[in-house]
Chains A and B, each alone.
Chain A
Amino acid sequence: MGEPVYRLLGVTRVYGARKVLDIASLDVYAGEILGIVGPSGAGKSTLLRLLGFLETPTSGAMAFRGQRVNGGAPSLAVRRRVTMVFQRPVLLSDSVYANVAYGLRVRGVTDARERVEKVLDLLGMLPLRKEDASTLSGGEAQRVALARALVVEPEVLLLDEPTANLDPAHVAIIENVIRQARERTGMTIVLVTHNVFQARRLADRVALLVGGRLVEVAPTKTFFESPSAPETCAFISGEMVY
C-alpha cells in the first residue's frame, strides 16, 4: 500500500494522571476510509484530534507523509492538508455561503464562488446558501460543516461522529457525499463513529479502540466476519466492552 499518510508508533496522550490514548502502532494509508469504533470514552476523539494536529502526543512518534510531526503543531502548509469535521459543529453567525467559503477565504482563494456552490449542491444545501447559519436545523448544520471541510479539498478528512443524532435521511445524504468525495478525489478519510453499521457501510478498514488501546485493526470484511479479538466479537455483536 506504499508510504502511509500517517504512521504512529508508541503514541500516548495523557491528561493529568489519566492515559487516554496508548497506540502501539497504527498506519493510515492514502485513499482509504479507516473507521474507528469503540465505546464512548475509548479515546476515539482524542486520536482524531492528534491526527488533525489539534493536540500533540505526550510521548511516541507520529509521522505525516514521512515527516515527524509530534514536536508541536506542524507548519501551516502541512496543517492545511488535513481538515476535521466535528461532532458538534460551531458555525459562524453568517450566511451558509460565508461559512462554507471560510476555508477558502483564509487561504486567499479569490474565485471561491464556483467551488462553494458545487459543494453546497452536492449536499443539497444550495437553496439555503443565503440563510443565516443560526437558523439551520442540526442536520443542516452538520451538512454545512461537511461542506466547509470538503470545499478546501483536503488530502485527509477527519470525521468525528459526522452523523450522530441525525435522522436517517440526513445520514444517507452525508454518507453518500463522503463516499463520492473519496471516489472523486482519492482523499484519505478517518471516520470515528460509535455506530458499527456506519463503519461497515463506509470503511475499507476498521479499528476497534477500547480504553485508549487498539484492540484490532482489520479490513472491514475480516473485522465483521472473522474478527480475531474476543473484544471485537463482543463489540460488533452489541455487547459492550469495557
Chain B
Amino acid sequence: MLGSALRQAVQLILGLDSEVLRIVLLSLRVSATALAFSTLMGVPLGAWLGLRRFFARRLVIAAIYTGMGFPPVVVGLAVYMLLSRSGPLGSLGWPWVPGLFTPGAMVIAQIIIATPLVAGFTMAAVMGVDPNLRQQLISLGATSWQATRAVLREARQGVVVAVVAGFGSVISEVGAVMLVGGNIEGSTRVLTTAIVLETHKGNFSLALAMGLVLLAMTFAINIAVLRLQGKAYG
C-alpha cells in the first residue's frame, strides 16, 4: 500500500495537481502573512528586550517563553472564542475583524503562535552580542540610536534564524488552523488540515503527496536555519 501510495503521491506533485497546488498556495499565503506581522512585532520587541533593562522585563520574558511553548490547539481555541459571533471581538461586528472559518482567522492564530518565537529568538540573538560593544561604539562618537543599529546589525543572522523558525512553526501546525479555519474545501483548507482529512478518508496517496510537500518545505527551512546558525555561531 505504501509503495503505490508513494508512487501516486509523486505523480500528484509532478503533475501539479490543481487541488494540491491550491492547498499549498493557501498554506504559504496564510503562514507568510502571519509571519510578516509576527516579524514586524516580534523583531522590535525582541530587540527591545535584549537591549533595555526595565521594570517587569523578566515578567515579559517569562510571558514570551511561555508563548514559545503554547500548544497551537490552545491558541486556536482562544482565537475561536474571541472571533465567534458571541465572542468579545466577533460580537463587535467590526468589518476588519475576520470572521471564523476564514483565512484571516487563521492568520490571527498563527500570528499569536509565531510572534513569541520571533521575539524570543531575536532577544537571544541581541543578548548574544557582546554588551561592551555598545559602550565602545558610544565612546567612538555614536549616538544611542546609531549604537543600537550597530548592535542589531551584529545580531542580524540570529534575527534571520528567528524569522525562519517562526515560519517553520506556523507552516507545520495543525491544531489552530483546524479549529479557526475549519478545513473548508477551496477556502480554508491548508496542507496540515488536508493531510488529516485525507488520511481519515483513507486517501493515502493524496495525504502522502501533501505530506511530502510539507516535509520538503520544512526540510528546506531547517537546512536554511542550520546554515545561518553555522554562520552566526560557527
Q: Which of B133, B139, B150, B153 contacts A54 (CB 8 A)?
A: B139
Instruction: Say yes or no: B139 contacts A83, CB within 8 Å.
Output: yes
Whether A90 lies near B141 (C-beta < 8 A) is: no
Residues of chain A within 8 A (CB-CB) of B153 are 92
**Interface of chain B residues 107 through 150 with chain A (CB within 8 A):** 130, 132-133, 135-143, 146, 150
> Which single member of A54, A79, A89, A93 contacts B141 (CB below 8 Å)?
A79
Q: Please give, as numbers and ranges, the residues of chain B lying within 8 Å of A84 by CB-CB distance.
A: 136, 139
> Is A88 a contact of B132 with CB atoms below 8 Å?
yes
Q: Is B139 in contact with A52, judged by CB distance below 8 angstroms?
A: yes
Number of interface residues of A (CB under 8 A): 21
Q: Does A102 contact B (CB under 8 A)?
A: yes
* Residue among B137, B139, B141, B150 making CB contact with A107, cutoff 8 Å: B141
Bound form: Cα–Cα A224–B32 in Å: 70
Contact residues in A for B141 (Cβ distance below 8 Å): 76, 79-80, 83, 103, 106-107, 152
Do residues B142 and A90 form an inter-chain contact, with CB atoms below 8 A?
no
Q: Which residues of A contact B140 (CB under 8 A)?
A: 83, 102-103, 106, 148-149, 152
**Interface residue? A64 (CB, 8 A):** no
The B interface, classified by DSSP as helix, strand, loop or mixed, is: helix
Q: Does B154 contact A (CB under 8 A)?
A: yes
CA distance A92 to B153 in the complex (A): 9
Q: Which residue of A lies closest to B154 (CB)?
A: A93
Q: Are B154 and A92 in contact (CB under 8 A)?
A: yes
Q: Is A86 an interface residue (CB 8 A)?
A: yes
The residue in chain B whose Cβ has the minimal distance to the Cβ of A151 is: B140
Q: In the assembly, what is the distance between CA of A185 and CA of B140, in Å?
A: 18
Residues of A within 8 A of B146 (CB): 106
- Residue pairs across A and B with Cβ atoms less than 8 A apart, 19 shown, are A79-B138, A82-B139, A83-B139, A83-B140, A84-B136, A86-B136, A86-B139, A88-B132, A92-B133, A92-B150, A92-B154, A102-B137, A102-B150, A103-B142, A106-B137, A106-B142, A107-B141, A152-B140, A152-B141
A-B pairs with the 10 shortest C-beta distances?
A103-B140, A90-B133, A80-B141, A84-B139, A90-B130, A106-B142, A90-B132, A106-B146, A103-B141, A106-B141
Residues of B within 8 A of A (CB): 130, 132-133, 135-143, 146, 150, 153-154
